[in-house]
Amino acid sequence: MKAVTAIQKKSNHNIHAIRRILIPVILVLLFGMILYKCNQFTKEPLTSTAGQTYERATVTAVTRDNLAEDGNRYGNQQVTVRINSGTYKGKSFSATSPSGQLFGATCKPGMHVIVIFSASSGTQVATVYSQNRIPAILAFIGIFTAAVCLIGGRKGILSIFGLVFAFTAILYLMFPAIYQGVSPILMAVLVSVLTTVVTLGLLNGFSRKTWSAMLGTSFGVAVAGIAAALFGAAAGISGYNVTEIETLSYVGQHSSLQIGQLLFAGIIISALGAVMDVGMSLASAVQEIHEANPSMGRRQLFASGMRVGRDMMGTMTNTLILAFVGGSLTTLVIDYAYNISFYQLINSYQIGIEIMQGVAGSLGIVLTVPITSFIASWLTKRS
């Protein structure tokens, strides 16, 4: 009898082990199939790129500089570059480096740059587009990844997977869908829920604590989106009032993009990280309090969660609002320098959008505290 029981236990253990491996594999394959299906369409070209390619190159010589005696640069540089990729790899060309702030580069021998090749009258014209920033970007990403993995250990590695999933969902699920006419708000909510489930599930498994955080985060993100939409309706602000509207309108003419909803979809995505942080921290706090004192009832656990949440609200709302302010710092400095009047400043679309983003996201954080505390206290004490 004991032998049969042992065999049954071993069999059940093997079944659970297979499920733990098989279910994630099936879900990953299903997600990959959805991404593949979503990206099976052809975008209408918005600009002509015929005969134009971007290649990596190294500056071998500066044949004509634009440095004046006063230390400023005027006009363009003429440089010789050796191509490191593409059809012309290994060959040298004379290239022009513009002196603009957005394009070109202040070239020096040995500098790695990106070169644009354009066909003109049967010949190839080379222009320096910018410094090659790929090595610096990869180095910073590598440092960040190493720091997260070394300090976070296993959970750090899993958090990187969660971050990769979030960017994959935004780039290959949300963008193609909204480009083809799906509601940006609907896709932002869907991607937020998927990211929350995958990230928190990877980090903590699908326990009651995790479900509490998931539900609380979903509620907080929904509140942020609804608050932004209500403020936008009251203040007459929509996606048509952003600074990039001319370019967006041109894109909208050649696609099914719903421009008016883009602003609110962006607010939902931008609030997700902070709201998820609050939701997970609160759910974990309630769980720890329950394990330390199992005799506490739901009401006491809820009150404890609220006390922890109140301490978090101030710092997290500051984080979100300051992030939005930092993103618009150049615009705010310009407004300050021109001494714009209060009525002009407060009624401008740019300031209205910044206020809407900061307040809507912070409201989502604030209301995440009671709902997560309630859900966590209720699920924790559930028999």
Q: Establish if 3 belongs to a structural domain.
A: no
Q: Establish if 20 belongs to a structural domain.
A: no
Is there a single domain that holds both residue 90 and residue 211?
no
> Considering its fold, how many domains does the chain have in total?
2
Q: Establish if 16 belongs to a structural domain.
A: no
Cβ-contact 191, 225 below 8 angstroms: no
d(CA 289, CA 376): 11
Nearest CA to 273 out of 328, 196, 211, 219 is that of: 196
Domain endpoint, select from 85, 102, 132: 132
Q: How many CA atoms lie within 13 A of 205 on its CB side?
A: 4
Is there a single domain that holds both residue 207 and residue 95?
no
Cβ-contact 304, 221 below 8 angstroms: no
85-113 per-position pLDDT tens digit: 988 899 999 999 887 777 778 888 999 99
Q: Is the dihedral of CA 308, 311, 316, 321 positive or negative?
A: positive
Is there a single domain that holds both residue 87 and residue 157?
no
Is there a single domain that holds both residue 212 and residue 66?
no
In the chain, which stretches have pLDDT less than 50? 383
Is there a single domain that holds both residue 92 and residue 225?
no
Q: Which two tokens stand for residue 179?
A: 């480009």
DSSP codes, 155-209: HHHHHHHHHHHHHHHIIIIIHHHHHTT--HHHHHHHHHHHHHHHHHHHHH-SSHH
Q: Establish if 22 belongs to a structural domain.
A: no
Q: Establish if 147 belongs to a structural domain.
A: no
User: What per-residue confidence (pLDDT) applies to 334?
Assistant: 87
Nearest CA to 221 out of 195, 202, 239, 198 is that of: 195
Cβ-contact 83, 57 below 8 angstroms: yes
Is there a single domain that holds both residue 234 and residue 348?
yes
Is there a single domain that holds both residue 375 and residue 331?
yes
For 322, the domain range is 153-380
Cβ-contact 178, 187 below 8 angstroms: yes
Is there a single domain that holds both residue 116 and residue 203?
no
Is there a single domain that holds both residue 280 and residue 198?
yes
User: What per-residue confidence (pLDDT) applies to 5?
Assistant: 57
User: What per-residue confidence (pLDDT) applies to 370?
Assistant: 92
